[in-house]
Structure 1
Amino acid sequence: MKLVSAFLLSLFLVSCSLMQPRTARTSSQLSEKEIITITQLIGKEKITKEVYENFYAQYQNNLFGNIAKRKQKHIEIWKNILAKQNITVLENESLEETENLKNQLLSEAIDETLALKTAIKIEELNLNDIYIVRKNSQKSSIREAANGIECGTKNHLFVYYKALREKGEKYTHQYISGKEFKNVVNGSVNSCSIKYD
């Protein structure tokens, strides 16, 4: 009798687990929060790329052109994570708020020096966005991507700041801590995997 009861209990538990939604049963599935934060990040990376392309067209500074290409790599990494869950993000479907952000950033940069300062601010904001994505997920694929893209983003911040200092200009951190900012800009270019930098 005990054996039959144990068998029926285990059968009941298995059937209950099979009735759960797939997302509850499969830990590799992305949560709604993860999907939203990654989708928003893709939109912001797209805006960043477009701002840098605009700066490159105006000032012919290769930093802007090169880093715009790297931003496209970051977009592809995040899109691939979503694609594994059959989620497609169309880059031309930007949120109105990100378009407004793009216009604001472009309006700030009336010369090359201000464009560099705007780029530094953008990289600070990007770091904060990466931290939010990582904080909102325990998935190894997301955390690995966030760590790699963080490394690349810090490199971008470093080279933009260096270019600004070569012009004799200064910049005060706005969106990351003073300690972290100093660690990045007083350090050196980090060795990131090629797909992240």
Structure 2
Amino acid sequence: LDEKTILAHGIYLEEEEIDLLNERNGFLVHNARSNMNNGVGYNPHLPRYRNLALGTDGIGGDMFTELKHAYFKHKDEQGAWWPGDYLRALAAGNRIVERTWGGKFGLLEPGYAADVVIADYDPPTPLVAENIAGHFVFGMDASITRTVIVNGTIVYENREFPFDTAEIYRQARIEAKKLWERMDSIAP
């Protein structure tokens, strides 16, 4: 275990194992929807992790939805965290990318990758610094995404991809079928 360690789920980690992960500066990636979908339980120790990020474990790429599920499941389990705690965990994914691939991510400053999401969000209540995390959890969803810029390149503009997605999806379905066949051939 070291600072490049990324553990997923961590539902059944013991206190000593959490302490060790924290000492070694590793990350736990919490996958709330996947955990609920697989019925594997809830991780009540999330506040104990020094480095906590949110992920999807392949159940979908909508991080707005993942943020909501993580927050609501935590509250359903009588957790003490608020939306801001989960918004910080969402943003912590940038630190994983920095550690793993180098570079600077997550800020709009010189020297950082120009990764930007432009959203259409017109809330019925005031949007101020003190409640923005609440808006992420209670008001926003993926449908507000209008344009996405990755490292200075527009990859999604006016709710459309600037390339042919039909061919990509067709090839993805072929590869998914091959993967499922390989998985089915593995003896339990």
Fold-level similarity (TM above 0.5): no
Structure number having the greater strand percentage = 2
Greater radius of gyration (CA): 1
TM-score, with structure 2 as normaliser: 0.24
**Greater relative contact order (Cα 8 A, min sep 6): structure 1 or 2?**
1
Structure number having the greater helix percentage = 1
